[in-house]
Amino acid sequence: MLLEYDPSVWINGEWNENAAEEYLAQVYNDTFSDNGHMIFAYFACENDSEDMDGTFYLYYGSAAYSIMDHEAETIFWSYFDMNYNNLDLSIAEFIGQTFRETADNIMHISTDGNNPLITAAVVFAVICVIVVIIGIIVAKKANTREEPL
């Protein structure tokens, strides 16, 4: 959402996050029937320019937090800052690219070997192999003791 200047959100030129949050909560409730969505809003300031001097803000429902948690939001704002400062991109391009790059990053399954589930499975498999090998050795020693010479 690209919103024009609203003095209730900018009190004496200062950003009022509570007022913005209340406004977006109302928009959210009027627009969505569940908690699985996110609103990305730009609140223009009084003397806004082409540089977009206002404030960008994310508001999302509780179910959307399973995807856009703190780590994902940090990733989003990192791409946002990088694309915002790329003067070769239009507003639509930098916003679209930010969401695309964020989605690619947070939905990417790591193949660098640091996946804890894969690590746990490998450790479990190694332990099972060791137990089987020890079992075979113990069984062979038991059989050799029982055989008469």
According to the model, what pLDDT value does residue 62 have? 83
Interval 26-71: pLDDT, tens: 999 999 988 888 899 999 998 887 777 889 999 988 888 777 888 8
According to the model, what pLDDT value does residue 120 have? 72
According to the model, what pLDDT value does residue 70 have? 87
CA distances from 53 to 5, 9, 46, 80 (A): 11, 14, 9, 15
The CA distance from 41 to 57, in Å, is 5
The CA distance from 26 to 84, in Å, is 28
pTM of the full structure = 0.66
The CA distance from 60 to 28, in Å, is 8
- The first and second tokens of residue 91, run together, are 């507003």
Closest-CA residue to 65 (of 36, 41, 39, 40) = 36
